Structure formats: C-alpha cells, structure tokens
Amino acid sequence: MFKIENIIRQRRLRWAGHLSRMLDTRIPHKIAFSELKVGKRPQCKPKKRWADILKEDIQLMGLDVKTWRMVAADRRTWGSKVQDAIHGAHEAQLSAATEKRTNRHEEEEKWDWKCPLCNFLRHGRRGRQYVQSHITQCHRDEAQAQQLTSLTCTHCNYTCATKSGLTSHLRHKHPGEPPPGLRPQKLLPAQTAPPTTPVPSLLAPAHPAPSAPTPAPAAPPTPANLSGFTCERCGRVCASRAGLISHSRGKSCRGQSLERGGNARTTNA
C-alpha cells in the first residue's frame, strides 16, 4: 500500500500528462502552462505555484524535467513511467525506514535505563519499558504527584493541546530539557548512576549532637502487596498473581512459562 503522499503525487502526474496532451486552445491547458502578463509574485518565500509543485514531483520521481512532456505525449508510456517511478520511490522509502529503525534499535541496545527514585536498573532496548512499568507500579504516589497541571511550555510559553504534544515540543525545540513527569534515566553502560542525595528536613536540628548515630538511608518504598509477585527472570513487579502469570506467558518471559509447564508435567507424572 502506497503512502497518501505518493498516491496524490501519482494522480497529479497523470493529470499533468492529460493537460499536456490537450490542445493549446483548451482553457485547462492555458491555465496550467501559461503565465500572467501583468503582475509579479510577492517576496519572502511566496506559496508554490502549480508548476513548481509539478516540477518537484517530477524530480522526486526521477524523471527528466525538460523532456517529460515528450514522454507524456503517449498516454500508455506516460502511465507506465509514472507507475514505475511510484513503485521505485515506495521501495526506497521502505528501505530507508527499515535502515533507520535498525540503526535506532542497535543504538538503544547500548544504553542502560535506571529508575530516578531507586536503584532499579535494566539494559537494552526493552529496559526502558521495564523501568517505566516499574515506576508506574512501585512509585504510584510519586508519579501522581508529578502529573502535569498545565500544558504550557515553561521556556517559551507555547501552549500545547495534549501531554504528548508538550513532550514532543520539548524534545524538538528544547533538546537539553528533561521531559515532564517521572521518566527512566538514560545511562551509558560504563557510566555510573547519579547519586541520590537525601533532602534535609526542615525540622531537623542545624547542629545534631555528636553522640546521635547517623541514620542509614531509607530503602525505596515498595508496596507490601507487590513484594510477592516479582518475576524471577526479569525482576518485573506485578500487581497481582494473575498479572504475574500473564506476564510469564508473554514473549518477554516465554522461557519461564516453559519451565513452569515442564514442572507441572513432572508433578502430574
């Protein structure tokens, strides 16, 4: 299936060939291939004319701009030329998209992903999904506390329509700024995780007594009802036993499901 841009371009080229084969006295031919005697185009990048768009389509399809009207004189030849050009452009777009996706996947395999609230760490392309799921399940209160209350960019005051639109705006217009909300931290394999410095309490004394022992840093909050539903293979925490069984049957933990099936057969035997 062709892209909608290629379909429109194909119809436009076929119609251009039809106009080129018309008599010079026909009004559509005059409108398409004539120019005004009086007047001039405005400056500062005016809108493209029909002839400019047609020329761009011919160049994108790999056809000759100077001799295309000679080829369009024969209806069957012009139709086959346009069809072959559309197929070639479609194959080139598919190969370029496949190469870009492969390069992106290879690049994502080099990164580690870490939870910003605890030491939960995963590697590879699927590591980001695991960490994001961990944040959603184990840090629900923190995630709800950092939900967006406004869709206006704090850097340029641009108002977006949706949360995904604001995220896309920050990624393209402000590349150095972190996305809103709790997101997995991107780390290189050789890079150490940034230390989490505890925030001092306002009620704590400024100069504690020397005899008071220094309290150990508290462990990250983990719901008690989720501690027993942790996947042994990938470390993912599920909300219920049914969720753990459904997760083990998925593609990410298919080997674990096979082990459970083998143990069940052994028990029945």
Q: Is 180 helix (H, G, I), strand (E, B) or coil?
A: coil
Across the beta sheet with 112-114, the strand order is 121-123, 112-114, 185-187
Domains of the chain, by residue range, sit at 4-35+46-108, 109-146+181-193, 148-179, 223-264
Predicted confidence at residue 34, as pLDDT, reads 83
The Cα 38–Cα 101 span in angstroms is 51
pLDDT digits (tens, 9 = 90+) for 69-82: 999 999 999 999 99
Model's pTM, two decimal places? Answer: 0.49
Q: What is the mean pLDDT of residues 221-240?
A: 67
- Stretch 117-129: mean pLDDT, rounded? 84
Residue 232, amino acid: E
Digit-coded pLDDT (tens) for 16-71: 999 999 998 999 998 888 877 787 777 776 678 888 889 999 988 888 888 899 99
**β-pairing, 121-123 with 185-187?**
unpaired
Question: What would the pLDDT profile of 148-178 be if each residue is shown by its tens digit?
Answer: 667 888 888 888 888 888 888 888 888 877 7
- Residue in 148, 187, 154, 191 with CA at minimum distance from that of residue 170: 154
Task: Identify whether the C-beta of residue 193 lies closer than 8 Å to the C-beta of residue 183.
Answer: no
Q: Rounded mean pLDDT of 235-258?
A: 71
Quote the pLDDT of residue 264: 47
Report how far residue 163's alpha carbon sits from residue 103's, in angstroms, rounded to the nearest whole number: 28
